[in-house]
C-alpha cells in the first residue's frame, strides 16, 4: 500500500512488556519469548499502546493519505471500538469532513515498537469492491528520514475486489516506494473466518505467513539503507481505507457498507535466548564462584552442579554462587517458563592442580603425620614466602579450615574437631599450587 504519509510522533516511554503463556503459532518455533500481547479486552483501547489518526490526511500535507483515498478517519466508537474481546474497525457510508465514508486508523508509534521478532495478528478482514484493509508497520524514524526511506512492511493487505487474495509487500528507497517486493497467498474465506497473519523479522530477512504457511521472503543480495531500512524499530498500523489508487481500481460498491475488520489479538514474540555467564577456568577449590543466567520474569531456575561442588546461594534464582572442587565439570540449569522447560550447561575447567609436592623436594616440604589423629604439622624450608594460603577441604568441596596469611616455616593445624575421613590439603606457594590427600582418623 503506497502510503506516503507523515505521522506525528508522540514521545512516550515504552512501557513494560506482558509476559504470560498464550497459545500461538510462534510457541513451537524459534520465537518463544512473548514480549507484548494486545488481547483487546476491556472497554476502550489502551492509551499506553495506541494512537488514533484522524481526518483525511490534509493536515499532514497528504490529502487522501497519499493514495487518493475516500474515507475520513475518526476515533468515534461507531468506527473503532472493542467488543467481546475483539478490536472492531468499522467502515461506514456516511458524510464527514468532505468525504463520503468514515473509518479508523490506529498506530502504536512511540509506544510499542519492535526491531526483531515474530508479529502475529489474528484477524477477520472486510471485503467488497472499494475496500482496502491493511495491517502494516512503518520505521520509527519516519519523522527524521521520511517515507519510503523509513521502510514499510505490509504484513497483510487486502483489496475487496480480490476476494480470495492477501498480499505482503515491502516499500523501500530502492523501489522508490513502489510495490516491487511483494508476495501473495490465496484462501477462499479471508472475509468469513479469522486467520493468523504473521511476520518474522530478523537481522537477515523478512518472512510472511498465513496460518503458519510461509508465502513470501524478502532477503536482498545487497543490504544498504535503500534496500534494507529494516534494522530498526517499527510500529504497527491498522486501518481500513475506501477507494484509492489500488482499493478503488474497480470502483466502489456502496451496497457493501458497513464493513468491519475484526482483530482478536496482536502478539509479538522474540527469540528465546538462555545463557549462563561465569568463569570457565577456575583455580582448584575456588570459592564463591558466581554464575548468572538470563533473566526471565516469573521463571523458575533449577541449578545442578557436580558432586563435590557446594551451592552457597541462589538455587531457584538466576544468580548462583558455589564453592568448586578440584575437577572439571558443568554447571547445569533447567529453566521453567511460560509452560515450557529449557536447559543450558556451562563447562568449568580446573586449572592445572599439582597433586603431590609439585616438584618441591621432599626435604623442603613435609606434611606429617599422615594419617593424622589430632594435629598436623606443615614444614616448609624452601625460599621465603611473605604470605601463603593454606586450606583444608572435605570431599564435598567445603573448606573446613583456611588461613591466607601463613608463613610456612612450621605450621601446626588442630584437626581434633574434624570427622574422620579423607581431606584435601591445598597450599598456594607463590606460583606453586599444591594439593595433598590427608586422612584424618
- How much of the chain is helix, strand and coil, in % rounded to 5? 5, 50, 45
- Is residue 416 within 8 Å of 374, Cβ to Cβ? yes
- Is residue 113 within 8 Å of 141, Cβ to Cβ? no
Provide the 3-class DSSP secondary structure of residue 320.
strand
Confidence of residue 355 (pLDDT cuts 50, 70, 90): very low
Nearest Cα neighbor of 278 from 351, 315, 332 is 332
Nearest Cα neighbor of 155 from 97, 110, 94, 114 is 114
CATH 2.60.120.200 boundaries in the chain: 25-271
Helices (H), 271-316: none
Cα torsion 143, 147, 150, 152: sign:
positive
Answer yes or no: is pLDDT of 197 > 70. Answer: yes
What would you measure as the largest C-alpha separation in the chain, in angstroms?
A: 107
Distance of CA 321 to the CA centre of its chain: 26
Confidence of residue 362 (pLDDT cuts 50, 70, 90): low
Q: Write down the pTM of the prediction.
A: 0.67
Mean pLDDT value of segment 34-61? 96
Q: What is the pLDDT of residue 407?
A: 63
Confidence of residue 106 (pLDDT cuts 50, 70, 90): very high
- Is residue 224 within 8 Å of 292, Cβ to Cβ? no
- Is residue 431 within 8 Å of 437, Cβ to Cβ? no
Q: What is the pLDDT of residue 409?
A: 67
Provide the 3-class DSSP secondary structure of residue 145.
helix
Mean pLDDT value of segment 295-305? 92
Superfamily of domain 276-350 in CATH is Immunoglobulins (2.60.40.10)
Q: What is the CATH number of domain 25-271?
A: 2.60.120.200
Answer yes or no: is pLDDT of 113 > 70. Answer: yes
**How many whole angstroms separate alpha carbon 38 and alpha carbon 175?**
32
Q: Which helix (H) or strand (E) holds 142?
A: helix 142-145
Q: What is the pLDDT of residue 135?
A: 98
Cell of 103: 473509518
CATH 2.60.40.3080 boundaries in the chain: 354-440
Kindly list the distances between the CA atom of residue 91 and the CA atoms of 1, 75, 99, 264, in Å, as whole numbers in the listed order: 18, 12, 12, 18
DSSP β-ladder status, 206-210 and 432-440? unpaired
Q: Rounded mean pLDDT of the chain?
A: 87
Mean pLDDT value of segment 182-199? 97
**How many whole angstroms separate alpha carbon 357 and alpha carbon 364?**
10
Cell of 159: 483489496
Cα torsion 254, 68, 163, 23: sign:
negative
- Is residue 118 within 8 Å of 199, Cβ to Cβ? yes
The model's pLDDT over 118-154, given as tens digits with 9 standing for 90+, comes to: 999 999 999 999 999 999 999 999 999 999 999 999 9
Confidence of residue 6 (pLDDT cuts 50, 70, 90): very low
Tell me how crowded residue 96 is: count the other CB atoms within 10 A of its CB. Answer: 17
Nearest Cα neighbor of 152 from 121, 194, 181 is 181
Q: Which fold has domain 354-440?
A: Immunoglobulin-like (2.60.40)
Q: Which residues are catalytic?
A: 152, 157
How buried is 354 (Cβ within 10 angstroms: 0-12 exposed, 13-18 middle, 19+ buried)? middle
The model's pLDDT over 398-429, given as tens digits with 9 standing for 90+, comes to: 788 888 776 666 778 888 888 888 888 877 76
Mean pLDDT value of segment 90-116? 98
| Highest mean pLDDT: which range of 97-111, 175-189, 286-300, 334-348 | 97-111
Answer yes or no: is pLDDT of 27 > 50. Answer: no
Amino acid at each position: 500500500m503506497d502510503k506516503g504519509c507523515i505521522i506525528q510522533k508522540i514521545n512516550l516511554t515504552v512501557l513494560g512488556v506482558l509476559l504470560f503463556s498464550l497459545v500461538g503459532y510462534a510457541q513451537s518455533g524459534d520465537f518463544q519469548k512473548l514480549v507484548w500481547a494486545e488481547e483487546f479486552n476491556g472497554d476502550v483501547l489502551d492509551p499506553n499502546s495506541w494512537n488514533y489518526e484522524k481526518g483525511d490526511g490534509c493536515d499532514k500535507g497528504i490529502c487522501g493519505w497519499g493514495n487518493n483515498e475516500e474515507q475520513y478517519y475518526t476515533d468515534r466508537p461507531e468506527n473503532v471500538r472493542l467488543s467481546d474481546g475483539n478490536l472492531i474497525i468499522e467502515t461506514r457510508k456516511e458524510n464527514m469532513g468532505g468525504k463520503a465514508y468514515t473509518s479508523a486508523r490506529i498506530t502504536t508509534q512511540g509506544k510499542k515498537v519492535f526491531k526483531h521478532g515474530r508479529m502475529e495478528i489474528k484477524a477477520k478482514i472486510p471485503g467488497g469492491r472499494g475496500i482496502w484493509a491493511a495491517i502494516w508497520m512503518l520505521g520509527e524514524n519516519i519523522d527524521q528520514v521520511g517515507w519510503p526511506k523509513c521502510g514499510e512492511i505490509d504484513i497483510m493487505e487486502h483489496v475487496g475486489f480480490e476476494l480470495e487474495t492477501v498480499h505482503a509487500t515491502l516499500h523501500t528507497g530502492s523501489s522508490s516506494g513502489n510495490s516491487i517486493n511483494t508476495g501473495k497467498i490465496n484462501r477462499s474465506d479471508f472475509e468469513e473466518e479469522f486467520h493468523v497473519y504473521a511476520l518474522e523479522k530478523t537481522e537477515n530477512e523478512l518472512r510472511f505467513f498465513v496460518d503458519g504457511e510461509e508465502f513470501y521472503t524478502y532477503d536482498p543480495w545487497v543490504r544498504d539503507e535503500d534496500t534494507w531500512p529494516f534494522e530498526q524499530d517499527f510500529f504497527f498500523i491498522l486501518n481500513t481505507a475506501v477507494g484509492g489508487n489500488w482499493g478503488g481500481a474497480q470502483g466502489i460498491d456502496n451496497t457493501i457498507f458497513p464493513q468491519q475488520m475484526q482483530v482478536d489479538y496482536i502478539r509479538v514474540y522474540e527469540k528465546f535466548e538462555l545463557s549462563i555467564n561465569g568463569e570457565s577456568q577456575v583455580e582448584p577449590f575456588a570459592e564463591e564462584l558466581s554464575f548468572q543466567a538470563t533473566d526471565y520474569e516469573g521463571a523458575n531456575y533449577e541449578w545442578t552442579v557436580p558432586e563435590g561442588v557446594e551451592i552457597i546461594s541462589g538455587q531457584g534464582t538466576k544468580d548462583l554462587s558455589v564453592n568448586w572442587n578440584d575437577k572439571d565439570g558443568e554447571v547445569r540449569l533447567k529453566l521453567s517458563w511460560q509452560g515450557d522447560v529449557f536447559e543450558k550447561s556451562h563447562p568449568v575447567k580446573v586449572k592445572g592442580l599439582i597433586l603431590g609436592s609439585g616438584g618441591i623436594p621432599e626435604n623442603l616440604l613435609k606434611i606429617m603425620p599422615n594419617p593424622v589423629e589430632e594435629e598436623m604439622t606443615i614444614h616448609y624450608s624452601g625460599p621465603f614466602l611473605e604470605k601463603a594460603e593454606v586450606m583444608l577441604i572435605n570431599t564435598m568441596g567445603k573448606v573446613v579450615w583456611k588461613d591466607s596469611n601463613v608463613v610456612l616455616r612450621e605450621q601446626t593445624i588442630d584437626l581434633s574437631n574434624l570427622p574422620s575421613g579423607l581431606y584435601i590439603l591445598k597450599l598456594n606457594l607463590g606460583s606453586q599450587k599444591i594439593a595433598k590427600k590427608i586422612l584424618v582418623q
